[in-house]
Amino acid sequence: MVLTPAERNRRWRQTHREEWNTYVRNHRATHPNVILAERMNKLKRKVNALRLLGGKCVVCGETDIRILTINHINGGGNKERAVGNGNQRGGQSYYRALLNGKVDKTKLDLRCYNHNLLYEYERGEWWFPKELPTNVAEFPL
């Protein structure tokens, strides 16, 4: 069986885990600009994914990248993260899949964290008695 260079490299890393980890640690310590570039690439990928979904919270219009999150309409996010050879898809790999058209974006919308959490409460994913007021001042004690 002929391995591609990428497969050969992956196998080497798997069988030389300690050596590879030491190399990565040393490389990162001596190349802080590489870490910054990696972080910027990840941030750009996230922003591209957010733009693909409209770039703002569908409820309040919030556009702050730091607090926007992808919402699965009617849930199913955990199930979707487990697709494809059992690989977990979250964060960067999810953004990558979304940008590559491997995720059905019609099942998604963009919300700020507050509105994403409220959406989950309203779906019943988080417990709060429906008959009680949610306002702090109105809550009966």
Minimum Å distance from CB 78 to Zn ion?
22
Classify strands 68-72 and 108-112 as parallel, antiparallel or unpaired. antiparallel
Which CB atom, from 89 or from 115, has the smaller least distance to Zn ion?
A: 115
Does residue number 43 form part of the binding site for Zn ion (CB under 5 A)?
A: no
Does residue number 65 form part of the binding site for Zn ion (CB under 5 A)?
A: no
What is the 3 state secondary structure string of the chain? CCCCHHHHHHHHHHHCHHHHHHHHHHHHHHCHHHHHHHHHHHHHHHHHHHHHCCCCCCCCCCCCHHHEEEEECCCCHHHHHCCCCCCCCCHHHHHHHHHCCCCCHHHEEEEEHHHHHHHHHHHCCCCCCCCCCCCCCCCCC
Does residue number 60 form part of the binding site for Zn ion (CB under 5 A)?
A: yes
Which CB atom, from 38 or from 122, has the smaller least distance to Zn ion?
A: 122
Interface residue with Zn ion among 53, 59, 99, 118 (CB under 5 A) is: 59
Which CB atom, from 13 or from 54, has the smaller least distance to Zn ion?
A: 54
Does residue number 57 form part of the binding site for Zn ion (CB under 5 A)?
A: yes
Could you tell me which stretch among 25-33, 47-55, 75-83, 104-112 binds Zn ion (CB under 5 A)?
104-112
The site for Zn ion (CB under 5 A) is made up of 57, 59-60, 62, 112, 115
